Amino acid sequence: MTRIKEDIMRDIMTQITHDRKLAKTIVEALLRIVKESLSSGEDVLISGFGQFKVRHKTARVGRNPKTKVSHEISERTVVTFHPSKVFRKEMSPE
C-alpha cells in the first residue's frame, strides 16, 4: 500500500486540527521546502526520520544484460534517502 499526499494531510488534520485547509498548507509547505533545498544541492536532515542527499552520478557505459548491447548512461543527479538509526530500529521486526 502506498500513502499518498492526501492521506498525510488527513492524518495531520486529525492530529493537530480539524481544519483541512491548514493541514494541506502544512504538507504543501513542507514538500516545497524539501524540493527547493534538494534542487539547490542541499541535503535535508529530518531528525528521527532520515536524510535526503543529493548525489551526482557521472556518465558511464552500461550494457543490456539480455542483448549484450552497450550504450552510454548520461550524467545525472539523483536523490537518495538514508533512514536514521531511530527509524531503522522502529522498522525492524523485534
Residues 64 and 25 in one domain: no
Q: Which domain holds residue 30?
A: 1-42
pTM of the entire structure?
0.69
Per-residue pLDDT of the chain (94 residues; tens, 9 = 90+): 556 677 777 778 788 767 778 878 888 888 898 898 889 888 888 888 889 999 999 999 999 999 999 999 999 999 999 999 999 999 887 6
Residues 38, 74, single domain; the answer is no
Q: Are 40 and 77 in contact (CB under 8 A)?
A: no
Q: Are residues 94 and 56 in the same domain?
A: yes
- Structural domains of the chain, count: 2
| Cross-strand bridge partners of residue 57 | 76
